[in-house]
Amino acid sequence: MFRPTFGGSGFDVFLASPEFQADPYDALRQLRENDPVYWCEPIGAWIVTRFDDCMRTYLEVDAYSNEGRLAGTLKHLPAEEQEQLADFTRFYRAKGLIHSDPPDHTRLRRLITKAGFSASQVEALRPKVEVIVDELLAETAARGSMNVIDDLAAVLPMTVLCDLLGVPHADGNFFRPLADRLLGFQGRNKPSLDSLLAAQQGIRDLRVYLDAAPARFADGTNDPDALLGRLFAARDDADDPLGEDELVNTVGTLLIAGHETTTSLIGNGLYTLLRHRDQWELLCSNPALLPQATEEMLRYESPLTRQPRLMKADAELGGKTIRAGETVFHMMNGANRDPEHFANPETFDITVPRGKHLAFGQGIHFCLGAPLARLEGSVVFAALIERMPHLQLAEPAPNWVTDKPTVRTLDALHVAF
């Protein structure tokens, strides 16, 4: 694979390419070493790759804003094309959980946590997650092989999400492609019109789905006491009602966050373990290492690769002046291999306590679904090391998905046992 040299012809183009998505780490290393706060013209944003600089973009919320963080998404388009995206604009102008700053963000996070994401509510899902994992692994046992992504990693979180929302499991077949459309344009500050129109169609489909929800509560198809029912009930809260657009934005965010990070954690983590066979065998012989191993998987192959912030004010970062209105991408997969923060960061080692990483972000926007992703991942890996210790990769080099820049995830992962 072509790996351009920093400062050479094609480096900027590479950063915006599918090839970078498939193999980012050498370019991220070069950026950390040579220009850790780097303006990339093809992306239309600053690229931040060092751990400490990324932490500043998380914690200094007065300058680095989530509200309007996708504002730059349309500005490169001609006016007549922007006019085609009215529903898209309405959706992302709503005060959604990841598209707002305090006090709106504080209110929404408190509401959603209470509705279904408190620590006790998440832990209460463990027996149900264990049953689902048992059923999924039983379906593959007779074959002696499986595609980990399609048979397990993508199915589990979507099934759990449906249970959490209180909707039929079959709705997951609608949710997953919808979430992919909502995610496809993100991570680029100059996305194509086609990707934006696809996201807009996903938004319209989601509105139609939610418009039908009250009738489904009434006829028993949906559980009114589960998360979706509680969100609908919050619209009628006398003191702090959830707005219609806030509801749609919140559910859209849950569809993305509720499955993508867990799918990637399971797929990326298992691939990394099996590629480092000594680590897999060590984990099989010492399951007590699983919590630490999970954190090392998250650090080494972060499911989320980048997140944007919109500058509310001029700020200095890494010796550069970043102007109000510009976009900053903090690269979690770059920060999580920063040698100034992690010893031997290019080495995958489940025996080394690494401390804080950025796989789920930090600060007030720390991923609300992180405890659920960790729970699902821990149940899967515990089951695999117990039942399939002789698991082997059935292909030398699986393909990384390259059309979703904000996530690092495998297209497929074939294993034999």
Q: Are the beta carbons of 162 and 168 closer than 8 angstroms?
A: yes
Alpha-carbon gap, residue 346 to 235, rounded angstroms: 48
**pLDDT score, position 140:** 93
Does residue 2 form part of some domain? no
Residue 2 pLDDT: 57
Residue 1 lies in a domain: no
- Asked, for residue 5, whether it belongs to a domain, the answer is no
CA–CA gap between residue 220 and residue 251 (Å, rounded): 20
Do the domain assignments include residue 374?
Answer: yes
Question: Element (H or E) spanning 381, and its range?
Answer: helix 370-387
Q: Residue 311 burial (CB < 10 Å; 0-12/13-18/19+)? A: buried
Any domain includes 3: no
Query: In angstroms, rounded to a whole number, what is the distance separating the alpha carbons of residues 168 and 161?
Result: 10
pLDDT at 72: 62
Is residue 277 in some structural domain? yes
Residue 4 lies in a domain: no
Looking at residue 312, what is its pLDDT?
Answer: 94
Full-model pTM: 0.93
Confidence (pLDDT) at 341: 97
Per run of 10 residues, the mean pLDDT along the chain (length 417 residues) is 75 92 96 97 93 97 87 80 91 85 93 90 95 96 94 97 96 94 82 91 97 97 96 87 91 89 97 98 98 98 94 96 95 98 98 95 93 97 97 93 92 96
Alpha helices in 244-307, H assignment, sequence order? 244-257, 260-275, 277-285, 290-300
Amino acid type, 351: T
User: What pLDDT sits at residue 403?
Assistant: 87
How many domains is the chain partitioned into structurally?
1
Please name which of 252, 223, 233 lies closest in space to residue 114, comparing C-alpha atoms: 233
Q: Which residues contact 152 (CB under 8 A, 6 or more apart)?
A: 133, 136, 137, 140, 146, 266, 380
Pairing mode of beta strands 320-322, 315-317? antiparallel
Q: Among residues 278, 294, 162, which one has the least CA distance to residue 216?
A: 162
Distances (CA, A) of 280 to 285, 286, 299, 372: 9, 10, 16, 23
Counting every residue written for the chain, the total comes to 417
On whether residue 6 sits in a domain, the answer given is no
Query: Which conformational region is residue 249 in: left (phi greater than 0), alpha (psi within -120 to 50 degrees), or beta?
Result: alpha
CA 278, distance to chain mean position in Å, is 28
Q: Give which of 115, 112, 96 is closest to 104, Cα–Cα.
A: 96
Identify the CA nearest to 333 among candidates 256, 409, 411, 408. 408
**Which residue range(s) make up the domain with 287?**
11-416
Give dist(CA 229, CA 241) in Å, integer: 14
Find out whether 279 and 206 touch, Cβ atoms under 8 Å.
Answer: no
CATH of the domain at 23: 1.10.630.10
- Predicted local confidence at residue 313, as pLDDT: 94
